[in-house]
Amino acid sequence: MIAAVQSNQPLTSHVMSVARFERFFRIVASLDVDKQDLKRYSDFVNQKLYDLLLRAQAAAKANGRVLLEPFDLPITKGLQECIHEFERLDEEIELRPILDRLATRPPLDLAYGEDIETRLPDIAGGLSVALAHTFNIIDPGLKNPSSEHWRKCFRIFDLLLQLRERQSSQTSRRLS
């Protein structure tokens, strides 16, 4: 969680991390975010990374491998472009080390390959760029996202990256 100071992280480092995230959202989408938004953001990044990693695990298992590799991840052209945008921005903002700490590596049935471990912060950055742009699509004049804006963004990404929940809700609707 980015919004809480970790005991092994000095206060000045935490304040700098928050400032970098605020700057990131201002540069990418002209948004003003606060600490509560950063908690939501942290939850978003970790859930979407988990969704991508679950799909990667399924691909690796289907191909008889015991390690997750970058090519197992379902990275679309649009997400890849967002990753490249993040990499360009990161030279200025230096957010990657923070995302490396923020991005959790959930336990899966298969082990993470070294290459996938290295790519996770950039993928989290690409998801972050996509999220910031999504706010502007939902509300082009938005400056300060509300809980409702966050909820809408989560629903859009869930629609695209979290098929298991959507499929189960569609099944239950058909059964009703």
| pLDDT confidence of residue 10 | 47
Q: Is residue 163 part of a domain?
A: yes
Domain for residue 62, yes or no?
yes
- In angstroms, the CA 89 to CA 104 distance is 22
Q: Determine the pLDDT at residue 102.
A: 83
Position 129 in a domain: yes
Are 43 and 94 a contacting pair, CB within 8 Å?
Answer: no
pLDDT tops 80 at residue 63: yes
Q: What is the mean pLDDT of residues 84-106?
A: 90
Q: Would residue 175 count as lying in a domain? A: no
The residue with tokens 């999504």 is 134
* CB distance 145 to 135 below 8 Å: yes
Residue 44: closest CA among 166, 144, 151: 151
Instruction: Identify whether the C-beta of residue 29 lies closer than 8 Å to the C-beta of residue 135.
Output: yes
pLDDT grade for 77, boundaries at 50, 70 and 90: very high
Question: What would the pLDDT profile of 99-151 be if each residue is shown by its tens digit?
Answer: 988 887 889 999 999 999 999 999 999 999 999 999 999 999 999 999 999 99
CA neighbor of 42 nearest in space, from 150, 133, 159, 168: 150
Average pLDDT of span 59-77: 95
- Model pTM? 0.83
Asked whether residue 159 is domain-assigned, the answer is: yes
Give residue 110's domain range: 11-167
CATH of the domain at 92: 1.10.20.10
Q: Residue 68: in which H helix or E strand, if any? A: strand 67-68
Do residues 121 and 99 lie in contact, with contact meaning Cβ atoms separated by under 8 Å?
A: yes
Does residue 4 sit within a domain?
A: no
Residue 1 domain-assigned (yes or no): no
pLDDT level of residue 162 (50, 70, 90 thresholds)? confident
Q: Is residue 176 part of a domain?
A: no
Domain count within the chain: 1
